[in-house]
Amino acid sequence: MNSSLPPKEFFPRHIGIIMDGNGRWATQKGLPRSEGHKAGAKVFKKITEYAVDLGIESLTYYAFSTENWRRPPEEVTALMALFREYLEEAEDRKLENEKKGMRIRFIGETDTLPEDIAHRMETTEQESAGKNAAIVNIAISYGGRQEILHSVREIARQVASGALSPEEITQEHIESHLYTEGQPELDLIIRPSGEKRLSNFMVWQSAYAEFWYSDVLWPDFTEQDFNRAIWDFAKRNRRFGGV
């Protein structure tokens, strides 16, 4: 065990990461925003491998929100190119990921993505479906409110078919139709870059999550920053409404 970390029983089981600050990082360096996203993609890979090696069970990354479609077309195009590159690398690293037991999932309105990207995502998911050491969720074209809407619509179909009555609907029914169904509760949300808001990320799942903020921009985020977030989480007294 890494001596710079608390005992593993104090680790969060499921961590959400809002990868924020790529554009500002690039602007500060006089570079195109796309260069910031490239640098952020490298950090995503580094932190994922580190977290999986530590034994974190689930990671959910906010990669591209439903609102991000409003960004300048050239920036969206650059991000789509990065997703393609990641998927190609995932194919190349398939054996390595299999050894780590890493299951990769893509969550969000993936039918809004370019057809070739959606197809590669489906293939990547299928090839890693049997792995269970760690789940890596990549939220693309994702919005927390839209995720809840998706769940409610699925429940409404059950009610309309007569399989379920409104009085029978529980929180568990809603959770069973969320993209993270069957995964550990979200314990910790990490948001670098100095922003302190949820930004429509995992709205339902974050009800009792702890938050950890940092002024570090995502491309400068390191394993030591990740360690600090885990230490901060381990020190908190989580009462879940009790005493």
Q: Which residues are catalytic?
A: 20, 68
β-sheet bridge partners, residue 210: 188
**Torsion sign (Cα): 200, 81, 179, 149:** positive
- Cα separation of 176 and 157, whole Å? 14
To which H or E segment does residue 59 belong? strand 58-65
User: Do residues 1 and 7 touch, judged by C-beta distance below 8 A?
Assistant: yes
**Neighbour-count burial of 185, counting CB atoms closer than 10 A to its CB (0-12 exposed, 13-18 middle, 19+ buried):** middle
Q: Which residues contact 220 (CB under 8 A, 6 or more apart)?
A: 25, 43
